[in-house]
Structure formats: structure tokens, C-alpha cells
Amino acid sequence: MDFSKLNNKIFFENKFINSKDAKIHVLNHSLHFATSVFEGIRIYNKKPLFIYDHIERLFVSSKIMRLNISYSQKKVYDTMKKLIKINNLVNGYIRPIIYRSSHSMSPETYDCKTLVAIACWKWGTLFSNDGISMNISKYPRLKNNIYPIEAKSSGSYQTSVISRIDSKKKNFDDCLMLDLNKNVAESSACNIFWVKKNVIYTPKDHSILNGVTRQAVIRLCKRNKIKLKVGDFKLKQLLSSDSVFLTGTAAEIQPVKRILNKKFNLNCETINFLKRKYEEIKKKCPESLNSI
Ligand code: PMP
């Protein structure tokens, strides 16, 4: 799909305009220096899931990237709600992006302004019930004394994009990324969990994007008395597990069928239970993680 051909309205330069007119100049600072920040929010039955948590992370990301948004969180919230209405979006995705204008062509930001755009589109489920295959990326996920990993920034996706291209060439669907100490971190755009003997494991959050869906799944485990261990785990531990799944706003709860040559059980009771619980959440579509 060519997203530049979307046939709906986008919030751009403080107005709701036709998508085809939402253009930025090729000498845009964020395009050259990869400093934009963005979010992805699912819309289920006209309602944005965990919109508060996504807006909060958008503002944290902006602060980390020294982007001074002139809008309040309330204005971003109201604009998103209006955009969903204007586009009559029932099930889809909303993508706010904060970026710099074209007032500099060096890392010095000079008179660059911080700009806000919000787009949305119809989007069905991405996950495959048959499970996905993964190889291992050659790039590590960094930690925040080396790179601003907590920000959902365009720069953070460079290694995800390269690794994903390499995975596809080798006939894998996605890749696993390890941290600098070779502990399991996450996939190119999702967090990772695995199950061994009814205990769920997931990496700590020092070298990952701490996903909103990850936080929802952790809450579900706690609420339903599923044993959960959050820690630093080696690849060997992950490969010796029974079942593996990824979490993300777009992918939801995605089972993994294989990492390299190691196959996993796709019919795991614990994962099926979490999937059912996640479906219940989608039906209610709370605006905040605090209400699950
Ligand atoms: N890690 C990375 C690198 C991601 O890009 C994403 C998607 N935003 C996630 C994890 C999952 O985050 P969330 O559940 O908030 O979508």
C-alpha cells in the first residue's frame, strides 16, 4: 500500500486537510537527522485503545529528543478523537508524529520549529495464528546511556529496518534482537515473552521499548495469578522454552512458531488464555492501562 495515496483527512499544520496535501519539504530536518518521534494506536470500534498511555509516551519521547511541543496532551487527545470522527474510522490505526521543520541542514537545530501531524487509516489484524519465524539480528539493542532507547523515535528504527530486510532475504518473518550483554531484548518492533512449564518470562526494560501492550500483558499475568519472571535471560533460555509470543499495538499477541531451527508449541494454554483476555480488553477498549 502506498500511504501517500491515503484518501482521507490528516491533521497537518494545525488543520484537518486532505491526505494528498499533507506534504513536507525534502530538506526537512527530521528526515535528514532521524529525530522525529511517533506513536501507533489501535482503534477498535471507533475507540482508541490505551490512548492516554500512548500520548504520555509520545510526550516522554518528545522530551528525550528535545522536541518542544506547543500542544498540551489534552489538545493531542482531542485532535485524535476528532480525526477518528472526521474519517469515520471504525477499526484502524492512528499515527501521531512530532518532527522538526526545515530551518537547518546540520545537527544544530537553529530556528527549527516542532511540528505535529496526525494520520489514521483502516487496518485489520496483522497477527498470524500460524505463528511467525525469526532469526537473530546482527545488531544489538542499546541501552539508555548509549542511545535514547526509551524514546519511540525514528532513529531507533534504523537497525530494525535493516534487520527486517535481512530476515526476509533469509525467509524469516522477523528477527530477535539481543542486548549488549547478549541477553534477549525484543523483536524489530515488538516485545517478547515466552512460556516454560506454565511460567512466563520477559526481558527487563533497560534495552527495549517498554511497550504499552507488554505492560498490559504483565498486568494480565499479575491479575490472573500467572507466574511471571522479568529479568535478564540468555538466548539459550528462550530457545529451551515451550512457547513464545510477541506483543505490540499493531501485532497484538503474536505467537512465534520458530526461532532459527527451534520450533515452538503453537497451542499453548497460557497464551490462548492471554489472547482471550486481550480480546476482552479490545471489546471494552479502555483509554488507560490503569483501568484494566
Ligand atoms: N518494541 C519496539 C521496538 C516497537 O517498535 C514496538 C511497537 N511500538 C514495541 C516494542 C511494542 O510497543 P507497543 O506495545 O507500545 O506497541
Cell 509470543 identifies what position? Answer: 245
Specify the residue with its C-alpha closest to ligand 1, atom 9: 190
Give the C-alpha separation, 126 to 115, whole Å. Answer: 30
- Cα 251 to ligand 1 centre (Å): 9
289 within 8 A of 219, measured Cβ to Cβ: yes
Mutate to test the pocket of ligand 1, among 134, 175, 191, 288 (most ligand atoms within 8 A of CB): 191
243 within 8 A of 225, measured Cβ to Cβ: no
What pLDDT does residue 125 have?
A: 80
- Cα 153 to ligand 1 centre (Å): 11
**CB-ligand 1 contact for 212 (6 Å cutoff):** yes
Looking at the structure, give the CATH architecture of the domain made up of residues 3-121.
2-Layer Sandwich (3.30)
Q: What is the pTM of this model?
A: 0.97
Give the C-alpha separation, 259 to 133, whole Å. Answer: 6
The strand pair at 114-122 and 262-263 is best described as unpaired
**Could you give the residue range(s) of every CATH 3.30.470.10 domain in the chain?**
3-121
What pLDDT does residue 252 have?
A: 97
**Could you give the residue range(s) of every CATH 3.20.10.10 domain in the chain?**
132-283
- Cα 11 to ligand 1 centre (Å): 23
Q: Which of 78, 8, 12, 71 is nearest to 48 (CA)?
A: 78
Report the Cα 205 to chain-centroid distance in Å. Answer: 14
**CB-ligand 1 contact for 54 (6 Å cutoff):** no
What pLDDT does residue 127 have?
A: 72
CATH 3.20.10.10 fits 132-283, yes or no: yes
What is the pLDDT tens value at each position of the chain, 292 positions in all? 999 999 999 999 999 999 999 999 999 999 999 999 999 999 999 999 999 999 999 999 999 999 999 999 999 999 999 999 999 999 999 999 999 999 999 999 999 999 999 999 999 888 777 999 999 999 999 999 999 999 999 999 999 999 999 999 999 999 999 999 999 999 999 999 999 999 999 999 999 999 999 999 999 999 999 999 999 999 999 999 999 999 999 999 999 999 999 999 999 999 999 999 999 999 999 999 999 9
Phi-psi category of 191—alpha, beta or left, where left has phi over 0 and alpha has psi -120 to 50? beta
Cell of 174: 522477523
Specify the residue with its C-alpha closest to ligand 1, atom 10: 190
Amino acid 273 reads F
Instruction: Please tell me the total number of residues recorded for the chain in this structure.
Output: 292
SS3 184: strand
Burial code of 7-20, b = ≥16 C-beta within 10 A, e = fewer?
ebbbbbeeebeebe
Specify the residue with its C-alpha closest to ligand 1, atom 4: 189
Cell of 83: 480525526
252 within 8 A of 244, measured Cβ to Cβ: no
Q: DSSP code of 181?
A: T
Q: Is the dihedral of CA 234, 134, 211, 63 positive or negative?
A: positive
What pLDDT does residue 195 have?
A: 98
**CB-ligand 1 contact for 40 (6 Å cutoff):** yes
